[in-house]
Amino acid sequence: MLRGMFEILRGMFITAREAFGKPITVQYPEQKRPVRERFKGRHELKRYDNGLEKCIGCSLCAAACPADAIFVEASENTDAKRFSPGERYASTYEINMLRCIFCGYCEDACPTEAIVLGDNFELSFTDRSQSIYTREMLLDPVPAGGKPTPQQTEPGLFDRSIPMMENPK
């Protein structure tokens, strides 16, 4: 009985101490707390330094997705219209964010490290159609010094199944 009273008084003391202490409040829309290093947020499609897209349309990310949230349709690259350094590129890349469980399997399955889960956690939609992220919404901006896709390249520059990113000398 005496021990139970001691525990009750101890709990009341902790409650009083926290009630009169300085609150830890983050003014969310104005101030944003940094996320952890391994946080998995909104998906991003990356580019190479020269502006070409890393995604080669292999659909391994769609195959690895347990929620079946990713749809990839591939098309062939040409020298006049080149999106990625490989033979193909993802002409259609869609992620249904209502289905996505943010497991990161798509990131692990990608051989070119094209799809990554970034640190953006502000995902809200008012309509179901807004929850489908297209290729244009997911692509990173063109890096400084790079050119936007599609690019025109000299014939034979990208003639390997595994592309070299540096120009042959």
Q: Give pLDDT, residue 48.
A: 92
Domains held by the chain: number: 1
pLDDT at 160 over 80: no
Q: Give pLDDT, residue 168.
A: 47
Q: Give pLDDT, residue 150.
A: 87
**Residue 48 within a domain:** yes
Beta bridge partners of 45: 115, 139
**Residue 30 within a domain:** no
pLDDT at 161 over 70: no
**Residue 143 within a domain:** no
The mean pLDDT of 152-168, rounded to a whole number, is 63
HSE-CB for 14 with a 13 A CA cutoff: 6
**Residue 68 within a domain:** yes
Task: Indicate the DSSP class of residue 117.
Answer: E
Q: Give pLDDT, residue 139.
A: 95
The mean pLDDT of 22-31, rounded to a whole number, is 86
**Residue 100 within a domain:** yes
**Residue 12 within a domain:** no
User: What three-state secondary structure class fits 169?
Assistant: coil
Smallest CA-to-CA distance from 61 within 118, 100, 13 is with 100
What CATH number did the domain enclosing 127 receive?
A: 3.30.70.3270
The dihedral through the CA atoms of 82, 84, 87, 89 has a sign that is negative
Are the beta carbons of 83 and 45 closer than 8 angstroms? no
Express each pLDDT in 126-148 by its tens digit. 999 999 999 999 999 998 888 88
- Helices and strands: H and E segment counts in the chain: 4, 5
**Residue 91 within a domain:** yes
Smallest CA-to-CA distance from 168 within 85, 52, 112 is with 85
**Residue 150 within a domain:** no
**The amino acid at 156:** G
Domain of residue 122: give its range: 35-138
- Alpha-carbon span 146 to 78, nearest angstrom: 19
H or E, element range at 12: helix 2-19
